[in-house]
Every structure is written in C-alpha cells, then in structure tokens.
Structure 1
Amino acid sequence: MRKVRDWTSPLVRLAKRHRDPVVVQALRSTTAATIAYVIALRLSPEPAPLTAPLTALLVVQVTLYSTLTTGIRRVNSVVAGVLVAIAFSLLVGLTWWSLALVILAALAVGHLVRVDEFVPEVAISAMLVLGVTAVGSTASARVEETLIGAVVGLGCNLLLAPPVWTEQAGASIEGLARRVRQLMLRLGEEAAGHPPVERAAERLHEARRLDHDISEVDASLRQAEDSLRLNPRVREGLLHRVVLRTGLDTLEICTVVLRVLARTFTDLTKRRAPEPMFSPQAGALVQELLCEIADTVVSFAVLVTSDVSVNAEEAESRLAAQLRQTSATRDKAARLLLEEAQRDTGQWQLYGAVLTEVDRIIDEMDTEHRSRRLLEELDRYTRAQRERSPRLTRLGDRLGAPVRQRRNREGVARRSVREGRGPTTARSCEGGEQA
C-alpha cells in the first residue's frame, strides 16, 4: 500500500498544480500567443508579425472578466498610438524633438481615451510605427495584428474556460482566521500569567502585522470575484461574491478589535507592573474566554467558505454552539472583572475595555448580524446596478421583476446563512447561469 501511495503521490501533486493560477496563466498565455502568431503569418503582410502574439500574451488573463476588460483597453491603446504616429508622420520625420512630441502626445491621448494601465502602450505603439519608413502599410499591419492577437486571446479564454478561484480565496480566508486564532491563544496565555511589558508590546506588534495578511487575502479574493463575473459555469455569482467579501470584512473588523485588545493588555501590563494583569481566577477565565473566541473565529471562517452540503450544516451548528458557550463564559468573566475593577478602581476603564472588545468580536460573528449584512450588501449592489443600467431597470419594472428579484435575494441570503455560504468549488458552481 505504501508503494502505491508513493507512486501516485506525484500524480496527485500534478493534479493540484494544474489549478495553480501561475500554471494556468502560463499555459493559456503560451497557447494564445502561438495561435495568434500562426494566424498572423497568413493574414499579415509583415514577415514576422510579432505584434499579434504580443497582444495575445498581454490580453489573456486568469479570469474571463479581466480578459474582456483588458482586451478592450489594449486594443484601444494600440489603435490610439498608431493614429498619433500617422498624424505626426504626415508633418515631420523621426528626430529627437519629434520623438519627444510623439511620446508626449501619445501619453496625453492615452489618458483621454481612458486605457488605464495601458497608457505607456499608446506611446510604444506610436514610436514603433513612427520609426519605419512605410508608415501607412506598417500602421495598418500593426492594427491588424493587434486585432488578431486580441481576438485570439479572448477566444482562448472563452473556449478554455478559466477556473473559479473561490477555493483559493476560501483557503486564504481560513488561513487568516487561523493566524488570528494563534494570536488570541497567546494573548490568553499571557492574561493567565505574568508577562513582562516587552512581551505584551510584542503581541501588539503581531496584531498590527495582521494588516499585511489582510491585504494578501484581499488580493486573492479580488481574483475570485473576477472569476465569478461573466462566468457561464457560475450561478448566483453576485451572492457568492457578497458572501466572501462580507466574510472577509467581518474578519478584518475582528482583527482591528484584536489589535485594540492587544493594546489594552499592553496598557494593563504597564499600569499594574510588577503585579499581573488579572487575579489568578480572573486571568484563567479570560484565557478560557479568548480560547473560545479563537475557536469561534475559525468556525466562522469555515462556515463562510463551506459548500452547501453537510459540511456547511456542521459548521453552522458548531458555530452556534460555540457562540452560546462563549456568551456564557463572557458573562462569568464580566462578574469577575467587575470585582477586579472594584478592588483596583484606577484600572476600571481598561477592564471595561476588555469586555467591550470581546463583545464586538462576538457580535460581528453572530448569524443574525451576518444575515442583515448580506441583505444590505445585496440591496446596495442591486441599487448600483439599477443606476448603471436605467433602461434595463425600466424594462424590468414593466415586467414586474423587482419584486421577484427582491424576494429571491432575501430567500437566497437567508438560505446562505442557514446552509453556510454559496458554492466554493467549480464542481458546485456548474449547472446554471450567472446572477
């Protein structure tokens, strides 16, 4: 049996790697660039039409949504650069001052046509076209090659359906929750002990460094959100994006509150030195409370990223039970901290701050609070969509769609809280059209 596992382990690793964003991007870009070059050899008058594979290479992205938006902006940037070069070639030749004027004009035109990050591409296209003698034929050939590369890049992502990256985003969210849990456990150990001021300050710096982790998770989630847009394999794509985004927002709020809690512990350590932060009984109960909250944070992340399956139901039941237990422990800790504040009246504000910060974290993970937040975000996205497409909105109003859509949103949002969240894998996202 061990030999079989050893023999199949490379295949398992290869199967996992085929969904890696870097591997998918490399394979899709290579395929698109090669096909674009072969087509351009037959259609372009240039002996080496490298503009076509270059455009295809730059157009193809990991997600279909980013490919479409990137392709349109790139074609606009190249065409704008060619037109600028043609206009200057009719008036002046290639000199140092004409090159400077072409670059300046191309950069200005790039901002006017709103090609965003492809503004330098306008100047590059203008310089390449201006630098040749047969400006007319070269310009038309470059535009033709650019269109070939863009069409091939878009076609590759339509035929080779990009994966749905919610699984990677979910893993990032769970990883963030587990890092928050580890820090909470360390804070709990220090609450029950007698840490020096330097160690308490070190925990505060660890809490501040979690901001960097949130930025990385946010980048992964943005990629997942793009993969859900315009993806025919995804149904209720808006709901999936909102569920993941609100889940990360909740964890971010918990992280901010945890940083404040670490600061409160640091202040308590300084003010009560050389005494411990809490009495032995209160410190042990605060440690128990933070351990329970730490486990609840992980359960919340698992619930947010779970499939609509038995796993999601188990995660929901576990989270509800942990929240009840945490609330009971919080009430016990409140009584002991009240006694602590009565004995040491100078620190009553800090003892009260500990309870306030704990209450905020518990409230953020409450299922009813999350249900309201989901409904609010879905309504906000819907209002924004109605403002962007007023004609479609008026047509939907005539057909009676708003009432039906609102009822569907409310039912789906409540069901997502009850069942966990939306599908997070490509398998569970198949079989419907995108919302």
Structure 2
Amino acid sequence: MREVTKSVTAPVAELVRRRREPAVVQTVRSTAAATISYVVALQLSSEPAPLTAPLTALLVVQVTLYSTLTTGIRRVNSVVAGVLIAIGFSALVGLTWWSLGLIIVASLVVGRLVRVDEFVPEVAISAMLVLGVTQVGGAAWDRVLETLIGAVVGLMFNVVFVPPVWVGPAGDSIEDLARRMRRLLLRIGEELSGPTPVERAAARLHEARRLDNNIAEVDGALRQAEDSLRLNPRVKEGLLHRVVLRTGLDTLEICAVVLRVLARTMTDLAKKRGGQDVFPPTVGVALEELLSHVADALVSFSVLVTTQVSRSADAAESRLADELAAAAAAREKAAELLLEGVQRHPRDWQLHGALLTEIDRILDELDMDHRSQRLMEELDRVTREQHERYPWISAVRRWARGKRPRRAASR
C-alpha cells in the first residue's frame, strides 16, 4: 500500500517541485484557458461540440502576455481570412478536387499577404473545414465566433492571471554559461605547467566550439524573458531589464569567441612543442593565475548582469572590480615572463603575443566603463527605434505625464 501511494504521489510532488518551470506553467495555463473557452462556446455557439474555441485558446495562450497578444491577433486574422475565402468559393463552385486545390492555393497566398506568420496553414485549414460542411454560411460564422471566443478567453486569461516574469530562468542560464566558460579557462590554465599533448589541447578547442550551442540555448531563454517583460504590469522598467540582459549576453558571446581563438592558439603551441612543456614552469604558473582571475571575472560579470537588487548589484560590481584589478596585475607579470622567454627563444613570439592579445580582449569586454558606455548606447538606440516605430506610444506617455505636445509658435 505504501508503494502504491508513493508511486501516485511521486509525479504530483515532481510537478509541484517544477511548478516554476515554463513548460509546467504553460501546461496548466493552456489547459485552464481551453476548458473555460469551451464552456463559454457551449453557451454562445450553435454547434453541439464547439472545439474550435478551445483549440484557439490552446494556440493563443502563450508563456508571456506579449506573445499572447501577438499570437491572438494573427490567429483571428488567419481564421477570418480562411472563412471569407470559403464563403467566396462556395458561392461560385462546389467541393471538387480542383476547387479544393484552388482554395488551398488561394488560402496560402492570402495567408502570406495578411502576414499571419506561423498561422498561414490555418487559413487553408479554416477554408477547407468551412467549405466541407453543408450549410456554409452558418458554419462559417460559427467558426469565426468560436475563434473569437477562444482568442478573447485566452487573452483575458493572461490579463487576469498575468504570466510570470521569466527573468530568473534567463539570468540562471547566463550565469551557467559564464561558469562553463570559467571551467574551460581553468582547465586550460591547469595544463600550462606541464606537458600538453596535442590531443588534449584539441579537446579544449572542441569544448570551446561547443559553447555556441550553449549560447543559442541562453538566447532562447533570454528571448522568452524579453517577451515576458513587454506589456507586463508587474514590471516598471522592462526596457532597462531587457537591455541589461541582452548586452550582458552579447558580451559573453564575444568573450566565448575570443576564448575559442585562445584555445586554438594553445593548440598551435602544443603542436609546435610536440608533447613537451608548452611554457617553462614559472611562466605556466603565472598564466594559470592570470586565467584563473579572468575566469572569476567572467562569473562576477554574469552575476552583476543578472542581479536586480541594488545592494547585491553593488557587491557584484565590487567583486568584478577586484577580479579585473587582480587580472590586470597578473597580466603584467605574465607579460614580463613571456617577453623574457621570447628574447631567449624568438621563434614563437607571434603565438605568445596572440595569447596576451586574446586575454586583453576579454578583459576589455568585461571592463565596467566599457560596459556602462555600451549599455547607454544600447538604451538610446532602442528608445530611438521605439519612438520612430511607435510614435503614438510616446505621445500617450507624454499625455499621461501631463505634457502637451509642442505647438508651433504663432507668427
């Protein structure tokens, strides 16, 4: 009996534990919205089983309010376009193989013209379903009504029960990316004090290249977080949060590219050494210390980017400043030792110089002054683009703040 109870409660406990994950939240919200839309459609539609309403609600309700609005509009447009096409064809021809082909072609073309994006096939589906029934007129408008019910219920569901803000998962993914880069830098540094086979250096290079996959995953989580901040009444400074996270990911992406080049430089050095020590022991220890500070600076930068509380942000900024200062001092020490080695053995000077250059590029991207300047430039660019694309939003904001539009001076 105890085992049966445990087997039943285990999935429920797992669901409760993962209740904050986007997939779980989306499942619960979509199920509730679809059920409500079906109940409403039963009262308003003449169809005995108005399944179009819950189907529309399933497609409309998204993880974020912004995506729900945009998806709902495109969904309604696609269904209305398909119904109108079916009504037009039903007035001219019946349902035959060639009329079916014509209506599919016409629906797909119209779907492209009305810009319903991923709902282009829905235009053709709506047209075929309506054309295939006996009473085209009544079924057509019932389908439109059910679609509107599903879209409105889905929209109102997300307005009343505002979706959560997915900044936390996006921040966790950014920090996870920084820690992956940190582990790679530490592994590279640990291998500098002894013999480094070419195969091991090449494995680090492949690991650096695989960071591109992690960046793509973080980008997906960040896009979801950006959508959750748009039009969300819970968020007061959504634009600032979006720009901070996006520029932070851009910086880590640049550092990942430089890290891949650094791993390639180490592979070339290992190949030239033929399995011997890549650097003398003193130089290897100095470079290991330098890469350790750079690795810690990457994590401190990610924490600074993803921290929203001012007190925690100040602490993260202080840690980043300390790590960058320690990295700069270690860089000067390593540069002196490398210069001495190059003077004795000048054949590898270009690779040693490339190694320092790549580290300098990472430190420059993590520099706080460079970060602040880039953040302000991105904020100005996004604000300017929004004003040019949606001038009426700026006018409404000025009106809400009690500022009247400027009038031309009377002559």
RMSD: 2.0
Task: Give the letter for the 1:190 counterpart.
Answer: E
Check if 1:119 corresponds to 2:123.
no
Q: 1:147-296 alignment to 2 at 5 Å?
A: 147-296=148-297
Aligned to 1:4: none
Aligned to 1:353: 354
* Distance of 1:395 and 1:141 partners within structure 2: 37
User: Could you tell me the TM-score, scaled by structure 2's length?
Assistant: 0.92
The answer (yes or no) to whether the contact 2:196–2:276 under 8 Å persists in 1 is no
Aligned to 1:302: 303
How far apart are 1:245 and its partner, in Å?
Answer: 0.5
Q: 1:172 to 1:395 in 2, by over 3 A?
A: closer
How far apart are 1:312 and its partner, in Å?
Answer: 2.1
The answer (yes or no) to whether the contact 2:304–2:317 under 8 Å persists in 1 is yes
How far apart are 1:318 and its partner, in Å?
Answer: 1.1
SS of residue in 2 equivalent to 1:164: coil
Q: 1:52 to 1:392 in 2, by over 3 A?
A: closer
* Distance of 1:397 and 1:71 partners within structure 2: 29
Aligned to 1:321: 322
The answer (yes or no) to whether the contact 2:196–2:275 under 8 Å persists in 1 is no
Task: Give the letter for the 2:125 counterpart.
Answer: I
How far apart are 1:17 and its partner, in Å?
Answer: 2.1
SS of residue in 2 equivalent to 1:122: helix
The answer (yes or no) to whether the contact 2:197–2:276 under 8 Å persists in 1 is no
Q: 1:360 to 1:85 in 2, by over 3 A?
A: same
SS of residue in 1 equivalent to 2:164: coil
Greater Cα shift, 341-350 or 319-328: 341-350
Task: Give the letter for the 1:170 counterpart.
Answer: G
Greater Cα shift, 335-344 or 52-61: 335-344
CA displacement, residues 218-241 of structure 1 (integer Å, 9 cap, x when unaligned): 000000000000000001100000
* Distance of 2:134 and 2:27 partners within structure 1: 36
* Distance of 2:63 and 2:396 partners within structure 1: 34
How far apart are 1:313 and its partner, in Å?
Answer: 2.0
* Distance of 2:145 and 2:173 partners within structure 1: 42
How far apart are 1:13 and its partner, in Å?
Answer: 6.6
Q: 1:205 to 1:321 in 2, by over 3 A?
A: same
How far apart are 1:310 and its partner, in Å?
Answer: 3.0
Pick 1 or 2: higher relative contact order, CA cutoff 8 A, min separation 6: 1
CA displacement, residues 101-122 of structure 1 (integer Å, 9 cap, x when unaligned): 1111100000000000110100
CA displacement, residues 312-343 of structure 1 (integer Å, 9 cap, x when unaligned): 22211111111111100000001111112222
SS of residue in 1 equivalent to 2:46: coil
Note the residue ranges of structure 1 that are not aligned, 5 or more in a row. 1-8, 402-435
SS of residue in 1 equivalent to 2:115: coil
Task: Give the letter for the 1:178 counterpart.
Answer: R
* Distance of 1:93 and 1:156 partners within structure 2: 40
Q: 1:395 to 1:31 in 2, by over 3 A?
A: closer
Q: 1:311 to 1:395 in 2, by over 3 A?
A: closer
How far apart are 1:292 and its partner, in Å?
Answer: 1.1
How far apart are 1:275 and its partner, in Å?
Answer: 3.1
Task: Give the letter for the 2:291 counterpart.
Answer: L
Aligned to 2:45: 44
Aligned to 1:415: none
* Distance of 2:32 and 2:319 partners within structure 1: 46
* Distance of 2:104 and 2:389 partners within structure 1: 35
Check if 1:99 corresponds to 2:105.
no
- Report how many aligned residue pairs link the two structures: 394
Task: Give the letter for the 2:23 counterpart.
Answer: V
How far apart are 1:182 and its partner, in Å?
Answer: 0.6
How far apart are 1:174 and its partner, in Å?
Answer: 0.6
Q: 1:391 to 1:45 in 2, by over 3 A?
A: closer
* Distance of 1:338 and 1:273 partners within structure 2: 22
* Distance of 1:94 and 1:214 partners within structure 2: 50
Aligned to 2:18: 17
How many percent identity over aligned positions? 69
How far apart are 1:93 and its partner, in Å?
Answer: 1.1
Task: Give the letter for the 2:213 counterpart.
Answer: H
* Distance of 2:371 and 2:274 partners within structure 1: 40
Task: Give the letter for the 1:370 counterpart.
Answer: R
How far apart are 1:16 and its partner, in Å?
Answer: 4.5
SS of residue in 2 equivalent to 1:191: coil
How far apart are 1:397 and its partner, in Å?
Answer: 8.5
Aligned to 1:410: none
Q: 1:313 to 1:394 in 2, by over 3 A?
A: closer
Aligned to 2:4: none
Q: 1:306 to 1:10 in 2, by over 3 A?
A: farther
Aligned to 1:87: 88
* Distance of 2:381 and 2:101 partners within structure 1: 47
Check if 1:130 corresponds to 2:131.
yes
* Distance of 1:349 and 1:396 partners within structure 2: 56
* Distance of 1:305 and 1:194 partners within structure 2: 39
Q: 1:11 to 1:321 in 2, by over 3 A?
A: farther
Task: Give the letter for the 2:284 counterpart.
Answer: G
* Distance of 2:398 and 2:355 partners within structure 1: 50
CA displacement, residues 26-57 of structure 1 (integer Å, 9 cap, x when unaligned): 11111111111111111111111110111011
Note the residue ranges of structure 2 that are not aligned, 5 or more in a row. 1-9, 404-411
Q: 1:235 to 1:15 in 2, by over 3 A?
A: farther
* Distance of 2:230 and 2:304 partners within structure 1: 23
* Distance of 1:147 and 1:269 partners within structure 2: 66
* Distance of 1:364 and 1:384 partners within structure 2: 25
* Distance of 2:306 and 2:17 partners within structure 1: 19
